[in-house]
Amino acid sequence: MRAKRSTISAGFLALVAIIAVGVGPASAATTTQWASWQPLTGTAGAFTTSVQITPDPAMTAFVTSDSRAGQVGVVSGASTWLSEGTPVGAKYGTSRDQSYLNLRARVDSPTGPSTTTYAFENPTPSSGWTFVLGDIDADAVRVEAIGPDGQALSADELGFRGGFNYCAPGVVGKPSCTGDAADVPSWDPTTQTLTGNEAAVDTSGAAAWFEPAAPITTLSIVFTRRSGLPVYQTWFASLARDVGGTIVDAVAGPVGGVPVVLTDANGRVVASTATASDGTYVFARVLGTDGYTVRAGSPGGKIVDGPAARPVDLSDADATGVDFVLRDIIPAAVSGRVVDASGAGVAGVTVAIDGTPLTAITDGDGRYLFDRVEPGAYEVRVVPPTGFTSADADRTIAVAEGTEEPIVLPAEDDFVLVENADLGGVITSPATGVGVIGAVVTVIDADGVIVATTVTRPLGVYTVPRLPAGEYTVSVTPPNGYAPLGPVTSTLTLGTSDLTDVNFELALLGSFSGTVRDTAGDPVPGVTLTLEGPGGTQLLVSDEDGTYSLGDLVPGDYQLVVVPPEGTRAVDFDRRTFGFPLQGGGTVVAQDFVLAAAPVVPDPDPTPAQPAAPSTPSTPGGGGDGHLPATGLGPETFAWAVGGVLVLLLGGTLFVVARRRSAVRDDDAVRDD
């Protein structure tokens, strides 16, 4: 089945809120959610959009595609969907009325695949979400992904879960399409390629789903048309689970108003809240993966009894019962703040008292609190989190014997953390004059250790925040469709100020296409063409519809030559020349080659045999061999020749006499009239 309708709106709209699907799938998830998309914008060969897979924590990808136009765009999901009867629907719920993306090949030819790249704003979680590729029947799809370390994900890490047919009879809740349960794409883990049915026939409902098991920075879908005019579909979905618990006082019971913060595996704050009057709190619809931490604050005069931070895993079920117990502070208490250069509190910072096992973590206002500090003199020190540096010396405190008075460090003794400098720049393509989305940027320190990996966002911008001062090497891996234009590495020294002009340029790779036809305008398949250029000589063969194409061509000059099959010839010309400038090119639509039947050239007449030379030379005036001089005729031949001449003369005379007698009779008849 081919999706025939698409909803493509003009302009670049804001992301809409993700709609939770009210389905109770067979899992521990409380809710599921399908991704929301911005409208597809741009033109054929240069489409862009954006997709938000989940809001908490935000999981967003910028999308670029060199798909051709026609039946492409963001589709509503009102007529085509993945029902709860499919394997993916059983876990993530139905996608009915949930949008998906329609795209196609760059050229409708087996040699003209399209590449669609999803560049994630932050590395994805390693569980809790899926992507689905649909309508994979008369085509093939290669799936590629790059992790935060710049390395390609393996087939196992891509998490192929299987093929299915969402139109097959008996699938509960399916759309009105008709399919075959045996018509599913096959998966080759070696090439990481999905291939449709063996006959490459346009059918309905063939699909496959993946659940990645490793973080991803870029995901690329390379789609190749095998036959027909295929369009393929892409869905994203995620599991949404809840985190909740209760905070109570060991003596007084539930405590309201206690601040609670949820952070993800990267230390980013996902959400913050405060306990209700009954001491409960909840973080609803959080992406179902591992690596979360819940931190509880300490209200006045109270402290958490035990760890103030607890790990949370949402991979398999909701996290309920993440509870904390408060107790009265036991003298002596020591407290203070950790702030940034502007004076704002920094949450989640570890503070320690040297010589003791005591540690504390700052709350949302940057406050830390110790109790049970035994009498004595101590050094209080801060452990700067990733991305911050502290030049402050440790703070000295003294706890007197028998005191119950809390020690509160004054504002002038706040620990001040300085945010490290950002490193960034822009990656552009002179051929298009705009930034390149989806380029992978890797930052390596002086010891050769990868300290950060990111991808370029819209306008080609990238940022690596809060790097410690030092020497770094920045390298760029071009996305599909681009090649280096000049150096793609840069070594630099980062100080305490942001460095935001580490820029690079990439060449847009070129492509071309055309058709071989006969003089009647009909396509001619199976014709060989040779392309000579900077990469050497390549061979192409025209497809069933006479088309040919090739992409990923580096800058330079090219010559395309058609090789007419036996019995044909090229009309007008048999070669085309074109080129791409140094900064790269776009798409060249080569003029069609026309073939005609070659004219049949007959073989020349055989060369007449030469007469044999006489064995005895003729004698002038006569010869002893009986031949007439200079004739080569003997007496018998000559006699026959003379007789023939006399017969011809006699016949001619009789003919003349007869014509005269006939004329006389005609004249007499005229006179009689």
In sign, the C-alpha dihedral spanning 186, 188, 192, 193 is negative
pLDDT exceeds 80 at position 446: yes
**pLDDT, mean of residues 259-277:** 91
Give the pLDDT of residue 56: 85
599's tokens: 């004219």
Instruction: Judge: domain 420-508, CATH 2.60.40.10.
Output: yes
Where do we find the tokens 């200079």?
630
525 touches 546 (CB < 8 A): yes
> What's the pLDDT tens digit per position in 25-77?
334 446 899 999 999 998 888 898 999 999 888 899 999 898 989 999 999 99
Where do we find the tokens 């570890």?
350
| pLDDT band at 470; cut points 50, 70, 90 | very high
pLDDT exceeds 60 at position 637: no
Give the pLDDT of residue 195: 98
- Percentage of the chain exceeding pLDDT 70: 85
322's tokens: 């993440």
How far is Cα 210 from Cα 607, in angstroms, rounded to an integer? Answer: 77
pLDDT exceeds 70 at position 483: yes
| pLDDT band at 89; cut points 50, 70, 90 | very high
CATH 2.60.40.10 residue window(s) in the chain: 420-508, 510-597
Q: Picking from 6-10, 276-280, 457-461, 578-582, which range would have the lowest pLDDT averaged per residue?
A: 6-10
| pLDDT band at 14; cut points 50, 70, 90 | very low
Give the pLDDT of residue 407: 95
**pLDDT, mean of residues 516-544:** 93
Q: Say which CATH superfamily domain 510-597 falls into.
A: Immunoglobulins (2.60.40.10)
> What's the pLDDT tens digit per position in 190-231?
999 999 999 999 999 999 999 999 999 889 999 999 988 789
132 touches 209 (CB < 8 A): yes
pLDDT exceeds 70 at position 646: no
> What's the pLDDT tens digit per position in 399-410?
999 998 999 999
Give the pLDDT of residue 591: 81
Q: Picking from 31-40, 88-97, 421-430, 433-442, which range would have the lowest pLDDT averaged per residue?
A: 433-442
Quick count: other Cβ atoms within 10 Å of Cβ 190?
A: 6
- The whole-chain average pLDDT of the chain stands at 85
528's tokens: 């060989």
| pLDDT band at 612; cut points 50, 70, 90 | low
| pLDDT band at 122; cut points 50, 70, 90 | confident
CATH 2.60.40.1120 residue window(s) in the chain: 245-266+290-415
If you classify domain 245-266+290-415 with CATH, what class do you get?
A: mainly beta
> What's the pLDDT tens digit per position in 648-660?
444 554 444 444 4
Give the pLDDT of residue 342: 92
Nearest CA among 598, 591, 599 for reference residue 569: 598
Q: Three-class SS of residue 253?
A: strand
> What's the pLDDT tens digit per position in 158-170?
999 999 999 999 9
pTM of the model: 0.74
Q: Mention every residue, 6+ apart, whose C-beta is less than 8 A from residue 361.
A: 295, 308, 309, 348, 349, 350, 351, 368
**pLDDT, mean of residues 362-377:** 92
* Strand runs labelled E in 250-306: 253-254, 259-263, 269-274, 280-287, 292-296, 302-304
pLDDT exceeds 50 at position 647: no
* Strand runs labelled E in 135-275: 139-146, 160-165, 186-188, 193-195, 206-210, 218-225, 231-249, 253-254, 259-263, 269-274
Give the pLDDT of residue 106: 85
**pLDDT, mean of residues 595-604:** 79
Give the pLDDT of residue 629: 41
- Percentage of the chain exceeding pLDDT 90: 63
How far is Cα 581 from Cα 14, in angstroms, rounded to an integer? Answer: 37
How far is Cα 128 from Cα 316, in angstroms, rounded to an integer? Answer: 9
**pLDDT, mean of residues 278-307:** 93
How far is Cα 276 from Cα 254, in angstroms, rounded to an integer? Answer: 9
